Amino acid sequence: MAKVIVDAQAARAIGKGAMIVFKKGVVRTEGEIRPGDIAEVYTRGGKFLGRGFINPNSNIMVRLITQDEHTEVNKELFRERIRRANEYRKKVLGYDKAYRMVYGEADYLPGLIVDRFNEIASLQISSIGMERFKFDVAEAIMEAEPEIETVFEKNTGRSRRREGLPEIERVLLGREKYRTVIEEGKAKFIVDMRGQKTGFFLDQRENRIALEKYVKPGMRVLDVFTYTGGFAIHAAVAGADEVVAVDKSPWAINMVKENAKLNGVEDRMKYVVGSAFQVMEDMIKRGEKFDVVILDPPAFVQHEKDLKRGLRAYFNVNYAGLQLVREGGILVTASCSQHVDMQAFKDMVIAAAAKAGKFLKLLEPYRTQAPDHPILMASKDTEYLKALFLYVEDIK
């Protein structure tokens, strides 16, 4: 078995519970190294730190599965980890039919994401090592939750390409089923496995439900980067007179229309297919105003080196959004970029507000991802979503 010797900084991080070893923390390797093999990690002094999947072609050199020298990485380990992760969601958090069942290293399964949507589980693998066990993982998912009839392999995106893995979308195990309807607060949503990511963004669930208490009859609401209409449908269900949903994807807008019909709010909805920046710029030129503006863009910062450019993109989006909020209105703004921490996000929003001539008051405590996307306290990598609910006033 290959050995990876790490520096003191990497060793300290692992000692605190981190489960990812970056290439920059590796001092040297010993033995034959093949992508996807199991390797052991040691300090310079020879102390055992953990065992996991290695990929010398990735910036993430090792994804640790265990820090116990006596624990083997095998099918039985995955079965037990998945069972415990599912039990945590159901018994501790109280989730039932739609939730993130496994969240990577936060559930001690780096490189594995599983979302449950009723009888369908959507599986994402971003590790070449985990790929070797995917059929075992699929079986373990169905064993942990007997109501699941379909495991859909949603293996697409940058993380797969970085690991040298092919992109695959198919039913991996069980019945050929692609669609279901989930309930979220007062709203219902169609989940289609053939959409983006795992089929639906569960991480904003509590934030979407929280929006309902701020939306009143007579209000006009703008939801930019709406995807399948998460925030937009909640606003309409809560009683808004008009909700404008914006997304560059015609497929996504068609899904918003289906979700509007499902919830009986078609008469309150308007749809715009186009670039968010251009659409908002056109609205500003027309002098449009909204009681609530929601900004939930994709991750503008994929890598740490992109931080400055990504923060500029967030600034531009928020500056435009603030110009569209009426005096005494509400801005809901979010970032799912892991490399943008809450302080940097707040500073960016404050700067955008100053340029727009606005004062902001925090309506809610700083919000983050739903608890079924648990934040492992020792791992910054598991904390990524930031959301601010802000009351907007003109500078007098």
State residue 124 phi and psi, 5-degree precision: -125, 130
Three-class DSSP category at 129:
helix
Q: Is residue 396 flagged as an active site residue?
A: no
| Cα angle, residue 76 at apex, residues 149 and 103 outer, rounded to 5° | 60
DSSP 174-209: ES---EEEEEETTEEEEEETTSSTTSS-GGGHHHHH
DSSP 8-state symbol, 132: T
Give the H/E segment covering residue 322: helix 307-324
Contact 20, 70 (CB under 8 A): no
Rounded to whole angstroms, the Cα distance separating 26 from 21 reads: 8
Count other Cβ atoms within 10 Å, centred on residue 218.
10
- Residue in the block written with tokens 């000692």: 15
- In the sheet with 60-66, reading across from the earlier edge strand, the strands are 20-22, 60-66, 48-54, 38-42, 2-6, 26-30
Give the H/E segment covering residue 120: strand 120-125
CA distance to 2, 13, 49, 72, 194, per residue, from 68 (Å): 17, 16, 8, 9, 39
Work out whether strand 290-295 and strand 220-224 pair parallel, antiparallel, or are unpaired.
parallel
What is the Cα 346 distance to its own chain's centre?
A: 19
336, 353, 360, 385: the active-site residue: 336
- Residue in the block written with tokens 């040298």: 164
CA distance to 136, 219, 227, 330, 349, per residue, from 314 (Å): 40, 25, 18, 18, 8
Token pair of 13 as six digits = 């991080």
Residues with catalytic function: 336
